[in-house]
Copies of this chain bind each other. A is one copy, B any other.
Amino acid sequence: MKDLSTPDYLTKEDVTALIIAAKKTSGLSWEAIATAINMSPVWTHSACMGMNAMPSDKAQALVTTLDLPAEAVAVLEESPTKIWDQTVPTDPCIYRLYEIVGVYGPTIKALIHEEFGDGIMSAIDFNMEVTRVQHEKGDRVKIEMSGKYLAYNAW
């Protein structure tokens, strides 16, 4: 009877594992995968990690690109539940971003209020790019975020 309790369906975690395995096999970079499905590398990686949902055609393109099982298409289209385990991230590369929010968060808030009024930058109607900028004293990482300004309602 217990067998009833483990239905056969793929989860987002399963599909992420399949993608990682397929990426290793294929030797493709995230940039190459993004190009293959005609989306940005940031969004593509995020959706592959199960942190964003793919439109149907993009999910199909990814399955083709990486030779994933057809069942993965529907899973890639599902709305994810975005969960992160570490309230304060420990990996240095991610922690530095957390630190920037801690140090500069109130500054970003003050400048948004000064320029736009009482509101926020949306993290939903949002996009981001990560690029390399050459520099004589050592190349730099450039992160550009763009989010719609949302004004608070008064009613």
Q: Which residues of A are in contact with B by a Cβ distance under 8 Å?
A: 1-2, 4-11, 13-14, 17-18, 20-22, 24, 29-31, 39-43, 45-47, 49, 51-55, 58, 69, 71, 74, 79, 81-84, 86-128, 130-133, 135, 137-155
List the B side residues contacting A124 at CB < 8 Å: 92, 119-120, 150-153
Contact, CB under 8 Å: A17 / B7 = yes
Q: A125's contact among B55, B118, B151, by CB below 8 Å, is which?
A: B151
CA distance A83 to B124 in the complex (A): 22
Contact, CB under 8 Å: A128 / B104 = yes
Closest 4 CB pairs of A and B: A7-B21, A5-B14, A121-B141, A94-B105
Contact, CB under 8 Å: A88 / B87 = yes
Instruction: Report copies per complex.
Output: 10
Contact, CB under 8 Å: A82 / B88 = no
Q: A102's contact among B82, B120, B122, B140, by CB below 8 Å, is which?
A: B82
Contact, CB under 8 Å: B109 / A42 = no
Contact, CB under 8 Å: B5 / A100 = no
